[in-house]
Amino acid sequence: MRITVLGSGTSTGVPVIGCSCEVCRSENPKNKRTRSSIYIVEDETHILVDTTPDLRFQALRERITRIDAVIYTHTHADHLHGIDELRIFNFLKMGPIPIYSYREHLEEIKRRFSYIFDGKSAPGGGKPWLIPEEVKENEPFKIGRLVFIPLTLYHGNMRVLGFRLKDFAYLTDCNRIPDESMEKLRGVRVLIIDALRYSPHPTHFSLSEAIEIINVISPEKAYLTHMSHDFDHEKLKNELPDNVEPSYDGMVIEL
Ligand SMILES: [Zn+2]
Ligand SMILES: [Zn+2]
Ligand SMILES: [Zn+2]
């Protein structure tokens, strides 16, 4: 299984428009963070997690030519508003793309992007062709031969869809992980987790909160994502425990 970090940045991306801080001015490519997303490839199955406003750029950069399904963690703009870019993957696949999420997120996607689902023009006629597939909290779901275990996370009051896939887990946009989800994370070897900045935030884990969770789960390796311009990649890397690293755009994890 191959996991590519398409984006590792918070909702603004890094650099932040108009900001002249050291990280935003840095020439280190690892300090350039597009909005958070990953791409998973296993055998013949190609899965995108979230469609960020940077999706077109991310897909070109990583030479992605196939998406068999999309998993939506939630519907904040930084995870959803690249949805129209899926159109080209319908052309490439010559068929519809299923989109998986919790019911409230699918409802919100249909409301916000009603033109995609209004049935007024034939599929393929200038808009994405997407098939909503509801994920239920305690029911693993299958895409191709891959079995995903849904993990409910809380992002303030919002229920976010995290997941476990074999020994890997993806936990973005959260500041609380309920006990039932922690239970399902037992034995995970590699995980990617939200760590927004040094100071606390009402809906995201801060760095120290993320490290506390990592210590409980105790994976072989944990990577941080959804990072703001608070973090300089090299400086942060030196501050972290041995099994924790900041992720970066284009990073590949082979499992
Ligand atoms: Zn986000
Ligand atoms: Zn900045
Ligand atoms: Zn969010």
Domain extent at residue 57: 2-254
> Which ligand is the nearest neighbour of the Cα of 9?
1
Ligand nearest to the CA of 156: 3
d(CA 211, CA 229): 19
pLDDT of residue 119: 83
Residue 180 sits in a domain whose CATH number is 3.60.15.10
- Closest-approaching ligand to the CA atom of 196: 1
Contact 35, 53 (CB under 8 A): yes
**How close is the Cα of 155 to the center of ligand 1, in Å?**
9
Among candidates 95, 77, 78, which has minimal Cα distance to 86? 95
H helices present in the chain, as ranges: 22-25, 55-61, 77-80, 86-93, 103-112, 114-117, 179-184, 207-217, 233-239
Cα 97 to middle of ligand 1, angstroms: 23
The answer on pLDDT for 108 being more than 70 is: yes
User: What average pLDDT does this structure show over 195-206?
Assistant: 98
Q: How far does the centroid of ligand 2 lie from the alpha carbon of residue 201, in Å?
A: 17
Average pLDDT over every residue of 131-155: 97
Q: What is the DSSP string of 221-254?
A: EEEEESB-TT--HHHHHHHS-TTEEE--TT-EEE
Distance 122 CA to ligand 3 centre (A): 32
Question: Residue type for 132, please?
Answer: P
What single-letter DSSP state applies at residue 16?
P
pLDDT of residue 243: 98
Arithmetic mean of pLDDT over the chain: 97
CA of 174 to the centre of ligand 1 (A): 9
Taking the whole predicted model, whether its pTM rises above 0.75 is answered as yes
Name the pLDDT band for 122 (thresholds 50, 70, 90): low
For residue 140, pLDDT beyond 80: yes
Report the candidate in 61, 80, 72, 69 with the shortest Cα–Cα distance to residue 41: 69
- Supply φ then ψ for residue 65, to 5 degrees: -120, 0
Q: If you measure from the C-alpha of residue 213 to the centroid of ligand 3, how many angstroms do you get, rounded to a whole number? A: 19
- Kindly tell me if the per-residue pLDDT of 10 is higher than 80: yes
Among the ranges given (68-77, 113-122, 221-230), the one the predictor scored with the smallest mean pLDDT: 113-122
Distance from the CA of 39 to the center of ligand 3, in angstroms? 18
User: pLDDT-derived band of residue 120, with 50, 70 and 90 as boundaries?
Assistant: confident
What pLDDT, on a 0 to 100 scale, did the predictor assign at position 125? Answer: 66
Ligand 1 centre to CA of 96 (Å) is: 26
Least distant ligand from the CA of 227: 1
pLDDT at 132: 98
Q: What are phi and psi of 246, to 5 degrees?
A: -70, 140
Q: What pLDDT is attached to residue 126?
A: 86
Question: Residue 91 pLDDT more than 70?
Answer: yes
CA 3 to centroid of ligand 2, rounded, Å: 28
Please identify every residue whose CB atom is under 5 Å from ligand 2, which is an ion.
16, 19, 21, 24, 229
pLDDT per residue as tens digits for the range 26-45: 999 999 999 999 999 999 99
State the total domains in the chain. 1
Q: How far is the CA of 76 from the centre of ligand 2 (A)?
A: 22
